[in-house]
Structure 1
Amino acid sequence: MTSTLMDNADPVGRRVLFDVDGTLIDAVENQRRVWRAWARRYGLDGDEVYRVALRTRPLETFAQVAPERDPHECLAALHELEDEDVRSGVYDAFAGAAELLSALPAGSWGLVTSNYEHRVRGRFARTGLPVPEVLVDAAAVARGKPSPVPYLLAAERFGARPEDCLVVEDAPSGVLSGLRAGMTVWGVNAPVAVEGVHRHFTNLAEAGPAILAFVAEVGAAR
């Protein structure tokens, strides 16, 4: 991030940066179905492949479960299945998501996802959620979560200081990404807190009032 961008950063405006899958959109069953379908193509055990996929990025997953296969071919097959799932799968927004996003001031929130923008837009269209102006996807960065790069890029696009940004996440890699970016990080949609979060909420609806209060306050507080 350049010094010019930091010098021009809004000194008081606070921003909320949401992860997508697992935070705003309930996509767990969709991800399980996609990975099982992918595993069937290669004669692999779907449950085992999914267990590996939960803790690794796709290319790392392929290296573990199908090391003899061309990883680019594997990735193309996965993308094909994911795109088909966006078109035909059943998606739900988490309770409170639509109300929260509608209540947030325009321009105060964005999305930071390890998925691709066209899939996010497809899922949001299916669930009726609004799409913000700032959306950082997998294609926008060379290094994804848990690197701080995606969240820092979102702050840069807002012209906001990292310390004035709130990250809302459900997964360890996203939490670590936000922490490394120097942002306030709150966890949602998990029975127990992910290590490192500054606050933990069992679900998104519970977190909603606190998120709105964060945006309304002046100065960063964790």
Structure 2
Amino acid sequence: MTSESNFVLFDVDGTLMDAVENQRRVWHAWAGRHGLDGAEVYAVALRTRPVETFAAVAPGADPAECLALLHALEDEDVRTGVYGAFAGAGELLRALPTGRWALVTSNYEHRVRGRFERTGLPVPEVVVDAASVAEGKPSPVPYLRAAEILGADPARCLVIEDAPSGVRAGRAAGMTVWTVNTATAAEGSQRHFATLAEAAPEILAWV
């Protein structure tokens, strides 16, 4: 890979995969098992990795037990949940050059792979998940880790996000950040598209 190459780093949930309602249901179920308010827990979970969510909403609970329950609920969702890829996601990912794109997610890789298999999306060589880094978004660490593995200059990386925490992470990593699939752009987004399909030609042009 030359230093002149451009790369694309994708968030997953809300960006490529329409799994928002699935995640909401999983976190509400998890919260219910702990006697917590589902909406409040989900609001925290949107911004942090699971281990950080547990610490914030259930500081007295055993993190290992919290994670085991979440894993069980998510595994069940992968097997039985109804969800899909956003329009144009498959065509976009298949059109990208091998080795020039990655997934950067706060979820866990095996669940992402399960969802991608069910929706027919290709999985790239590089997936940076919650277990890959010590700090999650909005820290720049996940995106910088993806760039490191790809051998990419952060300044030549384009981040595709939907969430404010991901936008902050990408900008803090010194990358270009575009947002998709939301009514308005999150603060810090340098371009915004109402849908992933609308952004796809511009993403391919970047690469």
Please tell me the TM-score bracket, short chain as reference.
over 0.9
The offset of 1:60, in angstroms, is: 4.3
Moved beyond 4 Å, runs of 4+: none
Match for residue 167 of structure 2?
175
Conservation of the 8 A alpha-carbon contact between 2:162 and 2:182: yes
CA deviation vs aligned residue, 1:100-136 (integer Å, no higher than 9, x gap) = 1122222221111111110111010010000011111
Gaps of 5+ in 1: 1-8, 216-222
TM-score normalized with structure 1 length: 0.86
The offset of 1:203, in angstroms, is: 0.9
For the aligned residues, what is the CA RMSD? 1.7
One of 89, 94, 98 as aligned partner of 1:106: 98
Conservation of the 8 A alpha-carbon contact between 2:47 and 2:138: no
The offset of 1:58, in angstroms, is: 3.1
Say whether 1:200 aligns with 2:172. Answer: no
Match for residue 19 of structure 2?
27
CA deviation vs aligned residue, 1:55-108 (integer Å, no higher than 9, x gap) = 444344434543443333222211221122112211200011011112222222
Q: Distance in 2 between matches of 1:158 and 1:49?
A: 34
Structure number with bigger Rg = 1
Conservation of the 8 A alpha-carbon contact between 1:10 and 1:161: no
Match for residue 68 of structure 2?
76
The offset of 1:27, in angstroms, is: 0.8
> Residues 11-26 of structure 1: matches in 2 within 5 Å?
11-26=3-18
Say whether 1:123 aligns with 2:115. Answer: yes
Q: Distance in 2 between matches of 1:116 and 1:57?
A: 10
Q: Secondary structure at the match of 1:135?
A: strand
Say whether 1:62 aligns with 2:54. Answer: yes
| Residue identity (%) | 74
Match for residue 141 of structure 2?
149
> Residues 203-222 of structure 1: matches in 2 within 5 Å?
203-215=195-207
Residues matched between the structures, number: 207
